[in-house]
Amino acid sequence: MVDKTSVAAEIAEPERRKVFRKMFRQLGAATVITMFGKAVLDSSPARAASVLRPPGALPEPEFNAACIRCGLCVEACPYDILHLASWSDPAPTGTPYFVGRTDPCRMCPDIPCARACPTGALSPLLTDIKKADMGVAVLVGHETCLNYKGLTCSICVRVCPIIGEAISLKPIKNERGVLQIPTVDSSKCTGCGTCEKHCVLSEAAIRVLPRELGLGVEGAQSVGRW
Amino acid sequence: MRSLQATFYRNRWLFSRRIVQCLIIAAFAIELPAGGYFAQGNLSSSVWFGIGLTDPYIWLQSLFAGAPLGKAALIGVVIVAGFYLLLGGRIYCSWVCPINLVTDLSYWLRQKLNIKSNYTLSKNLRVAILVLSLLLSLLSGTLAWETINPITLFQRELMWGSVAGATVLASIFLFDIFVTRRGWCSHICPVGAFYSELGRVGRLRIKATQAGACHGCAECIKVCPEPHVLAPVVSKKAAYVTHGDCTRCGACLDQCSTGALAMSLSFKKPSAFKGIPVVSSD
Ligand code: SF4
Ligand code: SF4
Ligand code: SF4
Ligand code: SF4
Ligand code: SF4
């Protein structure tokens, strides 16, 4: 008499092996695709902000998660300064940003862009536009800035919407005499971009950058080297 | 004149659908003389006459990416999800999604050019992509599908004048014509997969009206973008199309010459299936 169970087992075994093989193959494919996808997403530009966000934007990683790329802020801006990033822009696709040199934020007192945001990616808690933190102005062109050459251009100081607080002229003495240096108070500057917009040089000597890029971040590297 | 009327009648659902789709695109794209638009934003989140609507799938990605809940978006999600939950999720596909215009055109051309080649893809692929997109959102802290989603890309890029969107649209168009029949919408798009799951129990359904009326010609199945959903009805095993994949496009209704099918909205508790009702004509 033939043992039925053993025959059944013999037939079943390769079947089961096939199923397992298929399962492993699918698992393998899923792992590879996940790793690949994550690499692609992580390599997308601006994991740390390299563009200026509208006022009230959460810190970049949270902003990236919270913003649903709807463009309501873009449409709410009466000066039409905001854009949603396309693939080639240095920000994750679909997120809003502006370029100070082309079109700075006019610091509307009622902050319509943040009011329009449905997700809180632009924080509803921001009620005073002077407390906005879109970035910070940094005078980078110490050799090109006209005030450093002894002239009194001072355009960047005169156009600042919070003149005298965010940016002011500080005298320094050198061999050419007394120079009036545009000096930014990083705790008051909102990063609106107006100063950069109006710098008379063909490439601005004062740049408005996201805070981490403009000021650096403390404590990221150990002090000294081994 | 007669024939014109007949043509219109035979395409009544198609025409209605196209009108709705185009109106939605226009509401976002055409500036009103008084300034502003009927609808602000895009299909991720929009404001219609002061009412905010938010796409639940995009919101879900955001949630997985670790975002805090915004109140306005939450209300918008509840409205939209409620609508599709109640009526049927993939109504979005046939009546709202702009990509449907492209993929339907692809399919039409495919028929006209009589292209038979078909690279078979599993219907589960889109569900896998759906799960993957949520997993990747969780891992990377960004909205994974939104980096490539052609639906919102279409609105952002094409409407606001760029070619990146056009490239993506063209690839979908060509993929659907030459590679896989109904490739994008029925096999790949996780948005469709999401709405299919969301609207599983939706109560706006295709209904078989009278047992005798259907000759079993299966013409409806030939035009249906998701043919498997109609099979139980045509083989008289069910009185309703209950599968979540049905897009409520009405192509089957346009096609059926006997009136054996109807679109029906019923919130009654589904009774056990007792065969298709026979209506006697005395
Ligand atoms: S504060 Fe005003 S100008 Fe600046 S981004 Fe918002 S709406 Fe535009
Ligand atoms: S309104 Fe808010 S969610 Fe929408 S694009 Fe702007 S920041 Fe993002
Ligand atoms: S970015 Fe320039 S103009 Fe704007 S607040 Fe800062 S210093 Fe003033
Ligand atoms: S399956 Fe995706 S692309 Fe196709 S109509 Fe539905 S949502 Fe749009
Ligand atoms: S069953 Fe009818 S309404 Fe549903 S997808 Fe198929 S053709 Fe469209």
The secondary structure of B136-159 as a DSSP string is HHHHHSS-TGGGT-HHHHIIIIIT
- On whether residue B276 sits in a domain, the answer given is no
Instruction: Please tell me if the CB atom of residue A36 comes closer than 6 angstroms to any atom of ligand 1.
Output: no
- Which residues have C-beta within 8 Å of that of residue A226, sequence separation ≥ 6? none
Which tops the pLDDT comparison, A98 or A5?
A98
A80 contact residues in B (CB cutoff 8 A): none
Same domain? For B184 and B209 the reply is no
Q: What is the band of A1 on the pLDDT scale with cuts at 50, 70, 90?
A: very low
Residue type, A136: V
Evaluate: CB of A137 within 6 angstroms of ligand 3.
yes
A53-67 mean pLDDT: 92
- Cβ neighbours of residue B163 under 8 Å, at least 6 residues apart? B157
Supply φ then ψ for residue B31, to 5 degrees: -75, 135
Let me know whether B190 and B67 are in one domain.
yes
Residue B140 has pLDDT above 50, yes or no: yes
B22 plus B139 within the same structural domain: yes
Residue A222 placed within a domain: no
Q: Given a cut of 90, is residue A138 above it in pLDDT?
A: yes
pLDDT for A221 equals 59
User: Is pLDDT of A45 > 60?
Assistant: no
The CATH number for B242's domain is: 3.30.70.20
Q: Are residues A60 and A126 in the same domain?
A: yes
Domain boundary among A132, A161, A190: A132
Range of A97's domain?
Answer: 46-132
Do residues A94 and A119 share a domain? yes
Instruction: Answer left, alpha or beta for residue B250, where phi above 0 means left and psi between -120 and 50 means alpha.
Output: left
Q: What is the pLDDT of residues B146-166, one digit of tens each?
A: 888 888 888 887 655 567 677
Asked if A119 and A189 sit in the same domain, the reply is: no
Same domain, residue pair B186 and B224: no
Q: Are residues B145 and B86 in the same domain?
A: yes
Q: Which of A111, A132, A153 is the last residue of a domain?
A: A132
A207 has pLDDT over 60: yes
Q: What is the band of A49 on the pLDDT scale with cuts at 50, 70, 90? A: low
Inter-chain touch B71–A61, beta carbons under 8 Å: no
Residues of chain B with C-beta less than 8 angstroms from the C-beta of A84:
156, 160
Q: What region, left, alpha or beta, does residue B114 occupy, with left being phi > 0 and alpha being psi -120 to 50 degrees? A: left
For residue A22, name the pLDDT band (cuts at 50, 70, 90).
confident
Q: Which comes out higher in pLDDT, residue A223 or B167? A: B167
Q: pLDDT tens digits, residue range A73-89?
A: 999 999 999 999 887 78
Check if A190 has its Cβ closer than 6 Å to any atom of ligand 3.
yes
A73 C-alpha to center of ligand 2: Å? 5
Position B10 in a domain: yes
The verdict on A90 and A150 lying in the same domain is no
| One domain for residues A108 and A147 | no
- The DSSP line for B249-277 is --HHHHH-SS--EEEEE--SPPPPP--PP
pLDDT for the residue numbered B282: 41
One domain for residues B15 and B139 = yes
Q: Which ligand is nearest to the CA of B98?
A: 4
Going from the Cα of B186 to the center of ligand 5, the distance in angstroms, rounded, reads: 12
Cβ atoms of A42 and A56 within 8 Å: the answer is no
Q: Are residues B145 and B16 in the same domain?
A: yes
- Asked whether residue A220 is assigned to any structural domain, the reply reads no
Q: Confirm whether A38 is domain-assigned.
A: no
- CB pair distance less than 8 Å for A118 and B54: yes
Asked if residue B71 has pLDDT above 90, the reply is no
| pLDDT for the residue numbered A74 | 94
Q: Mean pLDDT, chain A, as a whole number?
A: 86
Residue A226 belongs to a domain: no
Same structural domain, B176 and B218: no
Query: Is the domain of B124 the same as that of B157?
Result: yes
For residues A120 and A140, membership in a common domain is answered with: no
- Name the amino acid, one letter, at B82: G
Q: Does one domain contain both A70 and A145?
A: no
**Domain identity same for B223 and B89:** no
pLDDT given for residue A110 in this prediction: 94
Asked, for residue A29, whether it belongs to a domain, the answer is no
**pLDDT of amino acid A46:** 46
Inspect the interface and report whether the beta carbons of A68 and B59 lie closer than 8 Å. yes
On whether residue B214 sits in a domain, the answer given is: yes
Distance CA A199, CA A140 (A): 12
- Average the pLDDT over A137-143 and give the result: 93
Q: Are B131 and B261 in the same domain?
A: no
Contacts of B73 in chain A (CB under 8 A): 68, 118-120
Question: Looking at residue A101, what DSSP letter applies?
Answer: T
Q: What is the mean pLDDT of residues B3-25?
A: 91
Which of A113, A132, A151 is a domain's end point?
Answer: A132
- Residues B212, B134, single domain; the answer is no
Percent of chain B with pLDDT over 70: 92
Residue A60 lies in a domain: yes
Number of domains in chain B: 2
Residues A69 and A107 in one domain: yes
Residue A19 lies in a domain: no
Question: Where is pLDDT greater, at B215 or B247?
Answer: B247
Domain ranges, residue B212: 205-265
Q: Is the CB of A192 under 6 A from ligand 3?
A: yes
Domain count, chain A: 2
Q: Are residues A62 and A126 in the same domain?
A: yes
Q: Can you give the CATH number for the domain in which A121 is found?
A: 3.30.70
In chain B, positions 34-63, which contact chain A (CB-CB < 8 Å)?
36-37, 40-42, 44-47, 52, 54-55, 58-59, 62
For chain B, what is the mean pLDDT?
86
Q: Quick one: chain A helix, strand, coil %, rounded to 5? A: 35, 15, 50
* Shared-domain flag, residues A150 and A181: yes
Say whether pLDDT at A226 is over 50: no
Interchain proximity B71–A120, CB inside 8 Å: yes
A66-to-A59, B47, B153 alpha-carbon distances in Å:
10, 18, 18
Q: Would you call A41 and B132 a contact, using CB atoms and an 8 Å cutoff?
A: no
